A and B are shown apart, each in its own frame.
Chain A
Amino acid sequence: MSETTSRIIKIATKKRYKNKYHWTDYFSYFYLFLGVLLMFGPVVWLGLSSLKTLAGIQEYPPTILPLSQIQVDVEGYDKPLPIFNVTQEDGTIKQLAQIKRIGINAKMVDPLNPGETVKVPIDKREKIREFKIQWQNYVDPLRKYDFLLYFKNSTFITVVATIITLIINSMAAYALSIYEFRGKNFALVFVIGTLLIPLTIILVPVFYVVANFGMINSLWGVILPGAATPTGVFLLRQYMLTLPRELIEAARMDHASEWAIYWRVVLPLSIPAIAVLAIFSIMWRWNDFLWPLIVLSKSEVYTLQIGLNAFHGELTSQWNYVLSMTMVTLLPIAIIFAYLQKFITTGIASTGMK
C-alpha cells in the first residue's frame, strides 16, 4: 500500500526536463521582484507622497502612507502644536503637545492644562498619526501659480504639433510610396539624411531661424521646428507600400482628384500606422524639454515641463507642490500607456524608434 502511494507521489511530482526547476528560474523571479520594486516603486512612492502634508514629506525616516501627525490648538500658542503619546515615569500614557525640541529633551504641554510645561526625553514620546489626504497639494498650485496655464500651453503644443506632423508626414509618405516620379530617390535620401542630424548639433542656427520668424517666446517656435520627422515619413511610407494599387487605380477611374485619393482612400487605410505615429508624436511633444527651454523664456508661454522645472528651481522647499505637479505632468502619458500599452510596445519593437 505504502509502496503504491509513494510511487504515485513520485510520478505526480516527477517533472520532465522542461518543467524541472533550474537555478535560473529562481533567479528570474527574484530579479523580476526586485525590478518591480525599483522600476515601479519610485512612481508609486511619488503618488503616495504627493498626498502628504509638507511636514509629512519632510519627515525622516519617512512613512509610506500619507499619515500625518495630529495637531491641536493650545491656548497661549500661535501655531497648532503636534500631539504625542508620552510614557510617563509611572508607566501610564498621556497625550501631550510638543512646544519645541531641545536636544534629547522636548518641551511639552498638556493641552487640557496649558499653564504648565514639562520636559520629556524624546525617546519616551511617540507620534499620534491619522490617515489624512492632502488634496490641497493639487488644488493650490493650480490656483496660486500658473500651472493651469502651463497645462493649457502643453496641451496646445501637443495637439497642434501632432496634427501638423500627421498631415505633412502622411502627405510626403503618400508621394514617396504611391507615385513614380523623377527625383524620388533623391527625395528619399534627403529624408534619410535628415535622420543623421539631431537637433542637439544645430541648436544655434535653428534658434537663429526661429528668431528670424519672430517666434521666440511663442508656442509656434516650439511646434514648427520638429513638425517634419524623418522617422514619421518612413513609418507611414513602409505601411502605405503594402496597400493594394488597384484601389488607387479604381479611384482614378472614378475621376477622383489626387488629393481626394490621398484623404479618402489612402489615409483611412493607413490608420494603424498613423495611430502609432500619433502616439509617438504626443509623447515627444508632451515630454519635450531642451528646445522649449531654449525658445520659451517668459513664464506665460511655459510648457508644463519647463514650468515645473522653473517652479522647482525657485521654490526648492515646496516639495509638496512639486510632487503633486510632477504627478499631474506624468498622468496623461501614464493613462495613454495604460490603454494603448500593446500598441506602443509593438510600435517601438517594429520601428526601433522612440
Chain B
Amino acid sequence: MENIRNQTKIFFLRILNIPFAFLMHAIDLIMWPIQKIIGVRNMPYIFLLPNLIFFGLFVIIPLGANFFFSLSSGDELLFAERELPTTKQYDQLFDCESYLNPNTCTEDFFWRGVYNTIFFVVFQVGLMIFFSVLTAVILNKKIIGRGFFRSVFFFPVLLSPVVVGLIWQWILLKNGAFNAIIESYGGDKVSFLTDPSWAMASVIFVSIWAHMGFYTLIVLAGLQAIPPNLYEAAEMDGTSRERIFFRITLPLLMPNLLVVFILASIKGVQTFDEIYVLTGGGPGTSTSLIVQYIFTTGFASSGSVQNFGLAAAASMVLGVVLLFLTLMQLYFSRNKESKHQEI
C-alpha cells in the first residue's frame, strides 16, 4: 500500500516536472550563449537581475517618487502635470491650532487617525503580547493534546482579513451570537460595532484574535530555547513554580519579547484590512487609522477628487514612524544575538 502510494506520488511529480524541465531547458538556450560571452565570473549578475529589476521598479523608484508626490500638488497622477515644488501638502497636514485636539486641524481626519492608531497599537500590542506569553507558557508545559491546542491557537493567523472581518462582523451583530450569549447570562445587548465607545474595543479584540497565534509561536520558540538544565537545577532546589517563572523564564525570554514587541508594533501601525471590512473605520472616524486615511484620500474618496499628494505626504509621516521602529528592531536583535553568543 505504502509502496503504491509512493509510486503514484513520484509519477505525479514526474508529470509536474515535464513543463518545468521544458521551461528550464528553453531558458538555458539563452543563458548558455550569455555565459559564453560574459564568462562564468559575471553570471551572478544575470541571476540577480530579475529580482533587482522588480525591487527597482516597485520599491526603489516608488520610494523616490513618493518624495516627489508629497512635494508636488495637483490632482493628476502624471509627473508632468503636477506643480513643483510645494510644501502645501505638509502644511495642510500639520495645520493645527493644537496638535492635541484633532478638531482644530484642517486635516482632522488624519489627526484622528494618528490618535486612533496610537490608542490601537498601545492596547493591541500590549494585550496581544500578554496573551501570547500566557498561551505560549501553557503550551510549553507537558499537557495532553499539545499539538492540537497549538494548532487551534495558530489557526486564525492563516485566515484572510476579509474572512476575519466578516466572521466577526456577523458574530458581533446586534442580533448575533455574542449578544445571544450575553443575554442568556442576563446581560444587556451591546452594539459592538456601531457604538463609538465599543467599536474600538471590538476592533482591538478581533485584531488580537487574528494575530495572536503568530506571536505565540515566536514566543514558544523562545521558550524552547531556554536551556532545560536551568529548570532542572531550580526544581532540585525545590523552587516554587511562580518563582521559577519570574526568575528564570521571564528574564531569559526578555530579549525575545523585545523583538516581538517591536515586530507587533510595526504590524500594528500598518493595520488596515480587518478594520476596513469590520467597521469601515466607523462609526464616524472612531476606528479609522492612518493607513485608512492614506487609502481614503489617495484612492477612495467618493465625491471629492483623489488627492495623491496628500496621501503621499501622510505615507511619508508613517514611513518615518516605521523607520524608527525598524531601526530599533535591528538594534535590539543585534543585541540579542551578541548576548546569545556570550551564553
Contact with A along B270-288 (1 / 0, CB 8 A): 1011001100000000000
Tell me whether B153 and A35 are in contact (CB under 8 A).
yes
Which residue of A18, A191, A258, A263 is within 8 Å of B40 (Cβ)? A258
Contact mask for chain A residues 166-187; partner B; CB cutoff 8 A; 1 contact, 0 none: 0111011011101101001001
A283 x B158 contact (CB < 8 A) = yes
Is B93 part of the contact surface with A, judged by Cβ < 8 Å? Answer: no
Stretch in A55-63, A72-80, A126-134, A136-144 touching the partner = A55-63
Confirm or deny: B241 has a beta carbon within 8 angstroms of a beta carbon on chain A. yes
Task: Report chain B residues within 8 Å CB of A209.
Answer: 57-58, 61-62, 65
B28 and A260 contact, CB distance less than 8 A: yes
Judged by a CB distance under 8 angstroms, whether A156 is at the interface is no
Residues of B within 8 A of A286 (CB): 160
Q: Does B50 touch A at the CB level, under 8 Å?
A: yes
Main secondary structure on B side of the interface with A = helix
Number of interface residues of B (CB under 8 A): 95
Known A196-B323, A202-B63, A354-B214: A61·B51 in contact at CB below 8 Å: no
Q: Which residues of B contact A181 (CB under 8 A)?
A: 41-42, 44-45
Report the bound CA distance from A198 to B326 in whole Å: 11
Residues in chain B near residue A263, CB distance under 8 A: 24
Nearest chain A CB to B269 CB, angstrom units: 9
Interface bits B64-77 vs A (CB < 8 Å: 1, else 0) = 11101100000001
Known: A168-B51, A257-B35. A201 touches B319 (CB 8 A): yes
Q: Tell whether A32 pairs with B149 under 8 Å between CB atoms, given A204-B311, A259-B28, A289-B161.
A: yes
Query: Min CB distance, A336 to chain B, in Å?
Result: 8
A168→B54 contact, CB < 8 A: yes
Which residues in A have their C-beta under 8 angstroms from that of B331? Answer: none
Contact B180 A228 (CB under 8 A): no
Apart from A204-B311, A345-B154: 4 A-B pairs, beta carbons within 8 A = A39-B156, A233-B51, A283-B158, A290-B272
The complex places the Cα of A257 from the Cα of B177 at a distance, in Å, of: 63
Are A337 and B59 in touch, CB under 8 angstroms?
no
Contact B298 A42 (CB under 8 A): no
| A175 and B316 contact, CB distance less than 8 A | no
**Would you give the shortest CB distance from A302 to chain B, in whole angstroms?**
12
Chain A contacts for B97, CB-based, 8 A: none
Chain A nearest CB: distance from B9 CB in Å?
A: 13
Query: Does B318 lie at the interface of the complex (its beta carbon under 8 Å from any beta carbon of A)?
Result: yes
Chain B 176-207 near chain A by CB (<8 Å), digits 1 or 0: 01001001100000000000000000000000
Q: Is A250 part of the contact surface with B, judged by Cβ < 8 Å?
A: no
Alpha-carbon gap, A327 to B63, bound state (A) = 38
In the complex, A22 Cα to B244 Cα: how many Å?
Answer: 14
The count of residues in chain A whose C-beta lies closer than 8 Å to any C-beta of chain B is: 93
Q: Flag if B27 contacts A259 (CB, 8 Å).
A: yes
What is the bound-complex CA distance between A233 and B157, given in angstroms?
A: 23
Q: Is the CB of B166 within 8 A of A202?
A: no
* Cβ-defined contact, A200 with B318, below 8 A: yes
Bound-state Cα–Cα, A180 to B238, Å: 55
Which listed residue (A28, A169, A208, A305) contacts B141, Cβ 8 A? Answer: A28
B272 pairs with A330, CB closer than 8 A: no
Task: State the CA gap A262–B40 with chains docked (Å).
Answer: 13
Stretch at the interface among B101-109, B118-126, B215-223, B247-255: B215-223
Give CA–CA (A190, B35) in the complex, Å.
25
A287/B77 contact (C-beta < 8 A), A205-B63, A258-B31, A319-B170 known: no
Structural contact, B295 and A290, CB atoms closer than 8 A = yes
Q: Could you show 12 A-B contacts with beta carbons less than 8 Å apart?
A: A31-B135, A39-B213, A61-B180, A187-B52, A196-B326, A197-B59, A204-B315, A228-B50, A259-B35, A294-B299, A333-B158, A333-B160
- Is A43's beta carbon under 8 Å from chain B? yes
The reply to whether the CB of A227 lies closer than 8 angstroms to some CB of chain B is yes
Chain A nearest Cβ from B34, distance in angstroms: 9
A148 interface residue per 8 A CB criterion: no
A207 to B62, CA, bound (A): 9
Give the B-binding residues of A (Cβ under 8 A): 17-18, 22, 24-25, 28-29, 31-32, 35-36, 38-40, 42-43, 45-46, 58, 60-62, 167-169, 171-172, 174-176, 178-179, 181, 184, 187, 190-191, 194, 196-198, 200-209, 211, 224-228, 230, 233, 257-260, 262-263, 283, 286-287, 289-290, 293-294, 305, 308-309, 312, 319, 322-323, 326, 329-330, 333-334, 337, 341, 344-345, 348-350, 352, 354
Total CB contacts across the A-B interface at under 8 A:
257
A257 adjacent to B31 (CB under 8 Å): yes
| Binary flags per residue of B2-41, CB closer than 8 Å to A gives 1, else 0 | 0000000000000000000000100110011001000011
CA distance A181 to B46 in the complex (A): 12
On whether the beta carbons of B54 and A228 are closer than 8 Å, the reply is yes
Contact of A337 with B315 in the complex, beta carbons under 8 Å? no
Instruction: Write out the residue numbers on chain A whose beta carbons fall within 8 Å of the beta carbon of B157.
Output: 354
Instruction: Identify the closest chain B residue to A352 (Cβ).
Output: B218
Cα separation A175 to B41 with both chains bound (whole Å): 11
**Quick check: A259 and B326 within 8 Å, CB to CB?**
no
Question: Are A200 and B47 touching (Cβ within 8 A)?
Answer: no
CB distance from B178 to the nearest CB of A (A): 10
Contact: A179 with B43, CB < 8 Å?
yes
The reply to whether A259 and B31 contact each other, CB–CB distance below 8 Å, is: yes
- Chain B contacts of A196 at CB under 8 A? 322-323, 326
B305 at the binding interface (Cβ < 8 Å): no
In the complex, what residues of B have CB within 8 A of residue A17's CB? Answer: 235, 238
Q: Does B100 contact A (CB under 8 A)?
A: no
Cα A233 to Cα B42 in complex, Å, equals: 20
Q: Are A225 and B58 closer than 8 Å at their CB atoms?
A: yes
Residues of B within 8 A of A32 (CB): 138, 143, 149
**B294 and A191 contact, CB distance less than 8 A:** no
Pick the contact of B55 from A28, A190, A287, A354 — CB < 8 Å?
A190
Determine if B80 is an interface residue (Cβ-Cβ < 8 Å).
Answer: no
Is B48 on the interface with A (CB-CB < 8 A)? yes
Known contacts A32-B149, A176-B48, A205-B62; A200 and B183 CB within 8 A of each other: no
Q: Do A43 and B155 touch (CB < 8 A)?
A: yes
Q: What are the residues of chain A within 8 A of B156 when measuring CB–CB?
A: 39, 43
Residue contact B65 to A334, C-beta cutoff 8 Å: no
* Inter-chain contact B218/A204, CB cutoff 8 Å: no
| CB pair B217 A349 closer than 8 Å | yes
B163 to chain A, nearest CB (A): 5
